[in-house]
Amino acid sequence: MEFEGNAVSRDPKLALVVSDSAKAQSGADTFRRSHDWVSPDEADVLVVLGGDGFLLHVLHEMLGRETQKPCYGINLGTVGFLMNHPHGHASIAQRIAEAHRVPVSPLCMDAICQAGATFSFYAINEVSLLRETRQTAKLEVRINGRVRMEELAGDGILVATPVGSTAYNLSANGPILPLGSRMMAMTPISPFRPRRWKGAILPESADVEFRILEPEKRPVAAVADQKEVREVQSVRIRAATEKELTLLFDPGYTLEERIFAEQFQV
């Protein structure tokens, strides 16, 4: 059974991709001896050793390729929210064969600067608009071409995927989105006006646009994960469903389960 799209074959070819961190490099020797690995270009599945940041780096690299291969992350980093436990009783091949698939659609950000230049970047976690100076940012919010908020004043705003809803979005008091919900979280960052607005949950099909009000006086930067564009005048965000990625998780250790656990912490 061959690799097709994001599907995992019954006997997949595996590639080992290791972070440069000392912890990942130290732990990689055991994994290197445990399987007959192939190169990433030949592989059906990428086994990624490191932390969440390194996995996001690998996923971003795949977005530029014609085929997006499933990734099975193993936590040899710090938090490891997107990763699997480094230790297991089964072989790596068996763990992947039994893994659950989680589809992830990144966001596509198109930002136009005050100087007229246009930049396009993908975000797996979130797109954030942030004030660049002490001046409060003022934004107009449009959804599907219709103005939904004439003026939002505050430190900024973000739009998060379900995967990203537990990252910056959660820190900004945004909602946690279940995986597979095909939704996006729109969350204000320290809003001043309207003070009581908590944000919105939008369908994945929504076309979101922010226009910066008084951009020269109140400059705003747009950030798609780690890619920053400064002094923007407008930003458009949509779900890039044509670039759907796949994460693999051990049974009982799924990202869905960790999202449930995050919501019931006391």
For 146-191, write each residue's pLDDT tens digit. 999 999 999 999 999 998 998 899 999 999 998 778 899 999 999 9
**Does 7 have pLDDT greater than 50?**
no
Known catalytic membership, residue 36: no
144 in a labelled binding site: no
Is residue 228 domain-shared with residue 158, that is, in the same domain?
A: yes
7 domain residue, yes or no: no
Please give the residue range of the domain that contains residue 196. 107-242
* Residue 218: predicted pLDDT: 97
57 in a labelled binding site: yes
Is residue 157 domain-shared with residue 177, that is, in the same domain?
A: yes
**Does 2 have pLDDT greater than 60?**
no
**Average pLDDT, stretch 66-80?**
88
The percentage of residues in the chain with a pLDDT greater than 90, rounded to a whole number, is 70
The angle at the Cα of 27, spanning 25 to 30, to the nearest 5 degrees, equals 120
**Average pLDDT, stretch 36-61?**
94
Residue 254 belongs to domain with CATH number: 3.40.50.10330
| Of 82-86, 198-202, 214-218, the least confident | 82-86
**Does 9 have pLDDT greater than 60?**
no
150 domain residue, yes or no: yes
29 in a labelled binding site: no
CB atoms within 10 A of CB 204: 15
Tokens of 233: 């005048």
- What is the pTM for the complete model shown? 0.83
* Residue 11: predicted pLDDT: 81
Q: How many structural domains does the chain have?
A: 2
3 domain residue, yes or no: no
166 in a labelled binding site: yes
9 domain residue, yes or no: no
Top-confidence residue, 24 or 7: 24
Is residue 162 domain-shared with residue 249, that is, in the same domain?
A: no
**Average pLDDT, stretch 2-7?**
38
Average pLDDT over all residues of the chain: 90
Is residue 98 domain-shared with residue 132, that is, in the same domain?
A: no
Is residue 237 domain-shared with residue 166, that is, in the same domain?
A: yes
Of the candidates 11, 29, 36, 52, the residue annotated as catalytic is: 52
2 domain residue, yes or no: no
18 in a labelled binding site: no
**Does 4 have pLDDT greater than 70?**
no
Tokens of 43: 């592989």
* Residue 226: predicted pLDDT: 86
**Average pLDDT, stretch 93-102?**
91
5 domain residue, yes or no: no
167 in a labelled binding site: yes
What count of Cα atoms within 13 Å lies in the side-chain half-sphere of residue 53? 8
Is residue 237 domain-shared with residue 168, that is, in the same domain?
A: yes
Task: Decide: helix, strand or coil at residue 118.
Answer: strand
